[in-house]
Chain A
Amino acid sequence: MMRRALSALLLVFLAATSASAQLAVRGKKIYTMAGPVVEDGVVIIREGKVAAIGRAADVAIPAGFKVLEAAVVTPGLIDARSVVGLAGYFNHKHDQDQLERSSPMQPELRAVDSYNTREALIEWVRGYGVTTLHTGHAPGELISGQTMIVKTTGNTVEDAVMVPTAGISLTLGPGSLRGGGQSPGTRGKQMSMLRARLLEAKSYLESLEPREQKPEKAGEEEKNTPPVNLGLAALASVLRKEVPLLITAHRAQDIATALRLKKEFDFRMILDGGAEAYLLTEELKKAGIPVIIHPSMARFNGALQNASFETAARLKKAGLKVAMQSGYESYVPKTRVVLFEAAVAAANGLGFEGALELITTSAAEILGISDRVGSLAVGKDGDLALFDGDPFEYTTHCVGTIIEGRVVSEASR
């Protein structure tokens, strides 16, 4: 009896899941970001993945599929650098987990251990079409911790997570200086501390490698290998180029310092912020560094005093790969919305499609997740954002957000 009831329940559950995953979205304009704009098109989502896409005249909507309609359809938006889920909107001690102050270098801090799936700001950004978040530890300490990539749904972080360790956050320049005689107190000290720790990680890695390369000799090597060190292990993954260093630097001198560090230790680097990156476009291009640019509407003071609304456009024109971020806010607003930030870039030299790339394809490529998200093509995740007009216009509304075929927001915002 009990077993039958359970079976029935399971059947009901499966039916509900599959029903919600069978979805068709019609759009007057569909920006697939994988080809030309599809006018009067349709996207078919089956089992959470894009199953077909094309003109409504050519693609039949299977019977029983739920159908949504919108003026403009885009891929689900990607926020390439955020602290949403760690920095809560109450802004009180109990909901601020984006920055650990106890020590200037803590690469072992995992974002998954701080992410609150029920945080109100996740729902807020999801309402504006954001389906993927690269979130985690904030800039503000020399090495503040790890970042991760999540979808903006999920009851637990395990449900939400796409990439548990997406980067390690490092901050150069005034953002991570400490006062009161504590280190690092200067830019020079920042580098000496970083270099010493990376050298340590290098030795740690070298001491691990013999054991890993020759498992049959594991027993012999064991006595020479160091005990597990979480921080050094995290940095070792950077030196192995498994995880990029996400270096926050705004002033040109700090960006140049980041390049110097990369040259010495040869890791994958993503430049974060980059308010004065327009002064070093050639250097960044030569080093092959992608940029997750500061929010267009970030406050233009401190290290960002020479920021420009046109930086994203200037970097793209110079041939750099650029994505947009909501960034890190410590007061009001507690988070920015990446859609709004890209809009200002659209209006300042980048144009509509260039700005849409910042929060779709380019973001996915920089974060290494373009096999799943960032564009609409058969086999990719069924993540969509629906709008009643040009997504970047102030007066347009986001009228729907879909993640893996599930409608996760329907209110007009």
Chain B
Amino acid sequence: MLKIACTLLILILAQWTPVLAQEVPHAFTGAKIIPVEGEPIEAGTLLVEAGVIKALGPAGKVAIPATAKRFDLKGKVVIPGLICTHSHIGGIGGGDGSGPVQPDVRIYDSLNVRDSGFRRAVAGGLTALNIMPGSGHLLSGQTVYVKLRGSKTIEGLCLRDKEGRILGGMKMANGTNSQRAAPFPGTRSKSAALMRAEFIRAGEYRDKLAAALDDPEKKPPRDLRLEGLVEVLEGRRVVHHHTHRHDDIMTVLRLSREFGFRVVLHHVSEGWMVAEEIARAKVPCSIILVDSPGGKLEAVNLVFKTGGILEKAGVLTAFHTDDWITDSRLFLRMAGLGVRGGMSREAGLEALTLAGAKMLDLDKRIGSLKVGKDADFVILNGDPLSVYTKVLETWVEGRKVFDRGDPDDLLHAVGGYGAGVDQEPYHCCFGEEGGGR
């Protein structure tokens, strides 16, 4: 009986597997391919097998196996899957408000994989995200890097290293969002002082761990907060730092120098004022361009020219949605606005893809169309930077995760009755500065 059940189970699994994995090679032909790394290829061929890019080149230069399934993409444009370095989708809320420093909190314990935000993200051509807790803390917790593979569980979305550890960074913030009533800091100096004290404690903890070697007797008791910070000090966890004002940006660079942590500056509204300093520190920037300045004091000097100025200064620059600040479905627009503000088209597209991959330490796997990298790509019906262009399909690891031709996918791409579910928006700092609802 058990044997029959087992056999049945195996049969069922065998039926399932082909749906999940890509069995035969897929050949996408005829499209203009913009690989981001390397020159655009007119009427190129992209060959995908087992979830990775097998070959890429002009028609005729890529041998298409006889077994391959062919996709004619004449007149279309193929770009790498978009990477958002700063997203709040998944119904995560603004974070626990009990204290300003929470390195023990893991965002993936809060994520709902069935949140409609994921459907909208793939509709926008996004394939990988850094999902972060809110910015109402000095340190709001561990972020998670996910692939939009479509999964019933968060574990299925998480990116992992070779040892199987879930990948992510650490979210920090300075400026006004994290200045709140006690125990939160009330000033910028206090913000920096609190963080310095935390890092000093974490350094001591790290030293105790190192001194204990592998002797469990000598090891200090486990401390989830300090463990998170030690990962930051050791460079295993990159700090993703919300920071707007020029002086706040310099404070981040100062702390990063003092404690040696790796950092990506996020938002960087006044980054254009200290672009040379950021370049000298060799620190990358993940920026957002919103439709008007202000909404809070630290963003009153936000301008569209930030991307162009950072590019000219030699700063590695990516974009992010900060979804729901901007809608993932319109992420391509960010590069359009960047170019409007003086960025080169190449840097604009790189800022949606490869630059973000670098900031997440994932550029060996994603961010460009290159042999051996994951087959994450987007099929468009025109110029990536045109308002009139639509995302037709989004593919992750050789599987189609969005198809504009599918009515349910289209509903999430465009909106309409039934697209919405009653959900709470991301609440951090929303309406806290007197604006009302």
Contacts and interface: CB of A to CB of B under 8 A. Distances in A.
B414 interface: yes
A306 B416 contact: yes
Contact of B437 (A140, A306, A333, A346): A140
Contact-size category for A: 35 or more
B327 interface: yes
B419 A305 contact: yes
Interface string B94-132: 000000000000000000000000000000000000000
Interface stretch (B153-161, B276-284, B287-295, B401-409): B287-295
A329 B435 CA distance: 9
A300 B425 contact: no
Question: Which among B300, B325, B385, B435 has the highest number of chain A CB atoms within 10 Å?
Answer: B435
Given A90-B297, A346-B387, A394-B340, A333 B417 contact: no
A101 B435 CA distance: 11
A337 B333 CA distance: 14
Interface stretch (B45-53, B229-237, B392-400, B426-434): B426-434
Interface in B303-356: 304, 324-327, 330, 333, 336-337, 339-340
Interface string A51-95: 000000000000000000000000000000000000111111100
A302 B324 CA distance: 13
Interface in A135-152: 138, 140
A300 B295 contact: no
Contact of B330 (A88, A93, A344, A346): A344
A397 B340 contact: yes
B299 interface: yes
A336 B339 contact: no
A297 B304 CA distance: 18
B436 A140 contact: yes
A257 B246 CA distance: 50
Contacts of B385: 394-395
B281 to A, nearest CB: 26
B364 interface: no
Interface stretch (A225-233, A265-273, A307-315): A307-315
A332 B325 contact: yes
A330 B296 CA distance: 10
Given A310-B416, A394-B340, A91 B387 contact: no
A369 to B, nearest CB: 24
A114 interface: no
A396 interface: yes
A150 B246 CA distance: 35
Contacts of B435: 87, 91, 96, 330-331
A287 B189 CA distance: 60
Contacts of A279: 417
A121 B333 CA distance: 22
A306 B295 contact: no
B420 A305 contact: yes
A343 B387 contact: yes
Given A140-B437, A330-B430, A393-B386, A89 B417 contact: no
A312 to B, nearest CB: 12
Contact of A332 (B296, B304, B336, B386): B296
Contacts of B295: 89, 91, 329, 331-334
B120 to A, nearest CB: 8
Contact of B339 (A138, A278, A330, A395): A395
Contacts of B326: 297
Nearest to A175: B437
B423 interface: yes
Contacts, number: 148
Contacts of B420: 300-301, 304-307
A116 B73 CA distance: 53
Interface in B135-172: none
Contact of B387 (A175, A336, A392): A392
Contacts of A307: 415, 420
B293 A120 contact: yes
Nearest to B417: A306
A305 B434 contact: no
Nearest to A349: B414
A60 B285 CA distance: 52
B387 A393 contact: yes
A308 B419 CA distance: 9
A347 B300 contact: no
Nearest to B343: A395
Contact of A394 (B300, B386, B415, B416): B386
B418 interface: yes
A394 B387 contact: yes
Given A87-B435, A332-B296, A395-B339, A305 B423 contact: yes
Contacts of A305: 419-423
Contact of B436 (A96, A310, A413): A96
B387 A331 contact: no
A308 B290 contact: no
A392 B333 CA distance: 12
B340 A331 contact: no
A309 B414 CA distance: 5
Nearest to A308: B415
A300 B417 CA distance: 11
A393 to B, nearest CB: 6
A304 B419 CA distance: 10
A302 B427 CA distance: 13
A309 B437 CA distance: 23
B423 A344 contact: no
A310 B417 CA distance: 12
A388 B297 CA distance: 32
Given A90-B297, A305-B421, A336 B291 contact: yes
A128 to B, nearest CB: 9
A343 B330 CA distance: 12
B16 interface: no
Interface in A16-48: none
A175 B436 CA distance: 11
Given A96-B434, A343-B387, A333 B291 contact: yes
B434 A92 contact: yes
B429 A331 contact: yes
Contacts of A140: 436-437
Contacts of A336: 291-292
A23 to B, nearest CB: 26
B416 A278 contact: yes
A143 to B, nearest CB: 16
A93 B434 contact: yes
B13 to A, nearest CB: 38
A305 B336 CA distance: 26
Contact of B291 (A330, A331, A335, A347): A335
Contacts of B415: 300, 306-310
Contact of B297 (A92, A347, A348): A92
A98 to B, nearest CB: 8
Interface of B: 290-297, 299-300, 304, 324-327, 330, 333, 336-337, 339-340, 385-390, 414-425, 429-431, 433-437
A-B residue pairs, 9 tightest by C-beta: A305-B420, A394-B336, A89-B294, A332-B295, A308-B415, A330-B435, A334-B295, A333-B290, A333-B291
Given A331-B429, A336-B291, 16 more contacts: A87-B435, A89-B295, A89-B300, A93-B434, A120-B300, A124-B292, A276-B417, A278-B416, A297-B327, A301-B423, A305-B419, A306-B418, A330-B430, A330-B431, A337-B291, A347-B387
